[in-house]
Amino acid sequence: MANRHAIYEVDFTNQLKANIVAKYSIMSESHIHSLWVNNDYVIAQITANVTSTTNETTLYNSTMVFSRGTRSYLNAHEVFDHKSSNVIIDLQREDNLLLIIEEHQTSLHKLNVPLLLVYPVDSSVLGK
């Protein structure tokens, strides 16, 4: 599930009482173009309005790669900037290969397994 400022990982094992497993914060008022999930990552292609150091608002297009359980875009595993939103992304889920096709270039990225994963250990903090 996703909205304009967060992506939610939800466990629907009990459909009458779904449980939020993790919340991934993204930049406020973001538009999510695409979303992929596998055992290691949550990947979102987004466009967001950001304010520059000169107080000008501009569109920021990117693909953010979150390690499962990461909570904020400030510590995303990897971020790929795009010149426009005219981008096609695909994920080969088993090998963590990310294909990015932009207007003037194509690239293939191997997402390495994170060296450090931080997960809540107390079940009472899940979904908070």
d(CA 44, CA 26): 9
Q: Is the pLDDT of residue 100 over 80?
A: yes
Give the model's pLDDT for residue 11. 86
Look at residue 17 and tell me whether its pLDDT is greater than 80.
yes
Which pLDDT score, from 0 to 100, does residue 127 have?
Answer: 57
Q: Using an 8 Å Cβ cutoff, are 10 and 20 in contact?
A: yes
pLDDT in tens, 31-69: 898 888 888 888 889 998 888 788 888 888 999 888 887
Residue 19 has pLDDT above 80, yes or no: yes
Q: Give the pLDDT confidence score for residue 119 in this predicted structure.
A: 55
Q: Would you state the pLDDT for residue 115?
A: 63
Are 1 and 106 within 8 A, CB to CB?
Answer: no
Residue 62 host element (H or E): strand 57-67
